[in-house]
Structure 1
Amino acid sequence: MLTQNEEQAVPTSRPESRLQVRSKIWLEIDGEPVFGQGRERLLRLVKATGSINAAAKEMGIPYRKAWTYIDAMEKRLGFALVTRLKGGAGGGASSLTPEALALLHKFDLLQAGFNEQVNGKFLELGF
């Protein structure tokens, strides 16, 4: 058992501590996930590559799975996220709709605000 003087010598928090808080957020409709970090990454890769197929390869998932994610999000959200041009001799192309770009922007703002709140509470509690 520690005496009162020894208890006071025990630090309550250490600035050099490696303990960190992590959190994830996602959006749901009727209790079903519709948008989160994985699907956010997929849309960002479609934007960067101009291709659902290239985005799927970058994520290490089959094209069909990527397409299914996009299709499910569009149906659940009620608006298009990706504009697709069918392939041909030169191949197809995909781009994000203005609604998809707005969704990504709002999700960024939501994540930043959420992380700010969580980190503030983490520090307030003295971890």
Structure 2
Amino acid sequence: MRYQIKYKVWLEKDGEIIMGLGREKLLKEIQKQGSISKAAKELGISYKKAWSFLKAMEKRLGTKLVETKRGGEKGGGAVLTEEAQKLIKEFEKLVKRFEGVKKRAESNG
């Protein structure tokens, strides 16, 4: 019998989500766009929702993940901190491990 294994991976602290696939996408899109607003638009979520995700992640981790510049004549912007980049890399490693387990399990099934 052929089947597919499905799973979701996320990181929690004290029962609250720190990082999941959606939040990872948000951080990566902020990195790509250089803007929280543009990243939110690209992902189809409101700026308010994106901002609340970021603030919740930062509060739970106790560290800044995004440095922002206010808008103005030359426009604002956002860049990921070193901590955010490390978080993305660690999360990607974890997801890759789960993918390996999934593939092995499916091929043995």
Q: TM-score normalised by the shorter chain: which range applies?
A: over 0.9
2:69 to 71, 80, 85: 85
Aligned to 1:94: 78
Counterpart residue identity of residue 53, structure 1: S
Instruction: Provide the residue aligned with 2:49 in structure 1.
Output: 65
Q: Name structure 1 gaps, 5 residues minimum.
A: 1-12
Displacement of 1:30: 1.2
Higher relative contact order (CA 8 A, sep 6+): 2
In 1, Cα distance between the equivalents of 2:41 and 2:63? Answer: 25
Runs of 4 or more off by more than 3 Å in structure 1?
none
Task: Give TM-score scaled by structure 2 length.
Answer: 0.93
Choose 1 or 2 for highest CA Rg.
1
Q: Which residue of structure 2 aligns with residue 75 of structure 1? A: 59
The root-mean-square deviation of aligned C-alpha atoms, in Å, is 1.2
Percent sequence identity is 45
Q: Deviations over 1:59-96 (max 9, x none)?
A: 11111110110011000011111010111112101000
TM-score (norm 1): 0.81
